[in-house]
């Protein structure tokens, strides 16, 4: 049975041989975790002796996964941040022994690390990894990819490796409860309200990359086309008024994209930040799952931090960024693609 424990300094020193054995195994099998070959048990124990000192100083939280009495995995949370970053921490040295791979150990340690971060008053977490297997763990855990550096470090044998940066914002959504608005299917009678939301976004924001307002006939045709394609159109209603809407459509027309959909969510300007977007996004995710879709994709303007944060909290990860691809209000616009695996 696998158990996850947070180790104090004394426990860290007591388990130095097992902790070192995990690190040595990872380096031996080619993990880029700061060390070069040859790397032996003594090197590993010396490293974790320093970690124990850091735990004692309150600068590091050390988590270990146990298989019975044996340490089979370990991870660290670095708390020693500059004075202007008291809300941030770094996840480091996520290590699983080769004997314990593909048992969910890394995911379990990651969840404990997140709990420890919140207990320490840290809500913005950052990490980097060169491992494709680790990327899958982080992305399943709702971490967002935000950067890639080629030839960042050396592998234990000496070859270059790339690294990918991830972040996760653990802070709770701000605003009124999501339940303040109910989500339902749109009808033709909702089109005037949807039209007003769309045209306000066109006139005042870069959420829609268009300069020309649309008319009611075009919105009615849009609704008919979406429904004919089997795509949902949802509205958020509060007090009898439509305060937002969302929909999705197959990502590309080719049949190979049948299980990938691209969605959009728009919220009335006076209700942004109130949980309406979260409610609509949750509704679209539920509909896509029920329809047997596998992937949801969103395209977001690069400076739309509210939408990027909304999607991160819903488990979307950034998968691509296209700088300067659009233009509006006299400035170039970046397009960020985010994605969530739902099946």
Q: Domains, the chain, ranges and CATH? A: 2-169 (3.40.630.30), 178-341 (3.40.630.30)
Alpha-carbon gap, residue 162 to 199, rounded angstroms: 43
pLDDT at 176: 42
Pairing of strands 241-250, 144-154: unpaired
Instruction: Strands of the chain (E only): list them.
Output: 2-7, 60-67, 70-78, 88-96, 124-129, 144-154, 160-169, 182-185, 233-238, 241-250, 260-267, 295-301, 317-328, 331-341
Q: Which residue has the higher pLDDT, 331 or 179?
A: 331
Query: For 210-259, how does the pLDDT look when each residue is reduced to its tens digit (9 = 90+)?
Result: 999 999 999 999 999 999 999 999 999 998 999 999 999 999 999 999 99
Alpha-carbon gap, residue 202 to 269, rounded angstroms: 12
pLDDT at 318: 86
Q: Which residue has the higher pLDDT, 145 or 340?
A: 340
- For 77, other C-beta atoms within 10 Å of its C-beta total 24
Residue 163 has pLDDT above 80, yes or no: yes
Query: For 261-304, how does the pLDDT look when each residue is reduced to its tens digit (9 = 90+)?
Result: 999 999 999 998 888 999 999 999 999 999 999 999 999 999 99
Which residues, in sequence order, are CB contacts of 51 under 8 Å at separation 6+?
Answer: 12, 19, 60, 62, 76
Q: 264-270: long-range contacts at Cβ-Cβ below 8 A with a sequence spacing of 24 or more?
A: 264/298, 265/307, 265/310, 266/197, 266/198, 266/201, 266/207, 266/208, 267/197, 267/236, 267/243, 268/196, 268/197, 268/200, 268/242, 268/243, 268/244, 269/200, 269/204
Which residues, in sequence order, are CB contacts of 34 under 8 Å at separation 6+?
Answer: 153
Cα 15 vs. chain centroid, distance in angstroms? 33
Alpha-carbon gap, residue 274 to 296, rounded angstroms: 23
Query: For 6-18, how does the pLDDT look when each residue is reduced to its tens digit (9 = 90+)?
Result: 999 999 999 999 9
Q: Which residue has the higher pLDDT, 317 or 153?
A: 153
Residue 117 has pLDDT above 90, yes or no: yes
pLDDT at 83: 97
């Amino acid at each position: 049975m696998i158990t996850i424990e947070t180790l104090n300094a004394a426990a860290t020193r007591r388990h130095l041989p097992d902790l070192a054995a995990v690190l040595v195994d990872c380096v031996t099998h080619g993990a880029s975790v700061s060390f070069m070959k040859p790397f032996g048990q003594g090197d590993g124990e010396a490293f974790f002796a320093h970690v124990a000192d850091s735990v004692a100083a309150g600068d590091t939280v050390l988590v270990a996964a146990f298989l019975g009495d044996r340490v089979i995995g370990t991870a660290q949370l670095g708390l020693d941040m500059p004075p202007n970053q008291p809300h941030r921490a770094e996840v480091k040295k996520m290590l699983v022994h080769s004997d314990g791979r593909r048992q969910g150990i890394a995911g379990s340690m990651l969840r404990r690390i997140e709990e420890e971060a919140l207990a320490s008053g840290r809500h913005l977490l950052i990490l980097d990894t060169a491992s494709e297997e680790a990327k899958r763990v982080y992305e399943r855990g709702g971490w967002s990819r935000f950067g890639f550096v080629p030839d960042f470090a050396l592998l234990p044998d000496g070859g270059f490796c790339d690294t990918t940066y991830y972040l996760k914002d653990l802070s709770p959504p701000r605003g009124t409860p999501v339940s303040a608005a109910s989500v339902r299917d749109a009808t033709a009678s909702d089109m005037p309200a949807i039209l007003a939301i769309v045209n306000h976004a066109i006139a005042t924001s870069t959420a829609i990359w268009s300069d020309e307002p649309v008319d009611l006939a075009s919105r009615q045709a849009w609704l008919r086309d979406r429904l004919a394609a089997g795509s949902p159109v949802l509205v958020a209603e509060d007090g009898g008024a439509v305060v937002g809407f969302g929909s999705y459509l197959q990502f590309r027309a080719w049949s190979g994209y049948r299980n990938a959909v691209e969605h959009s969510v728009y919220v009335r300007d006076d209700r942004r930040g109130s949980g309406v977007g979260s409610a609509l996004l949750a509704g679209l995710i539920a509909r896509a799952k029920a329809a047997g879709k596998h992937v949801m994709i969103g395209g977001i303007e690069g400076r739309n931090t509210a939408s990027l944060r909304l999607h991160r909290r819903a488990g979307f990860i950034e998968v691509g960024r296209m700088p300067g691809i659009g233009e509006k209000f006299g400035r170039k616009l970046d397009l960020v693609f985010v994605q969530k695996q739902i099946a």
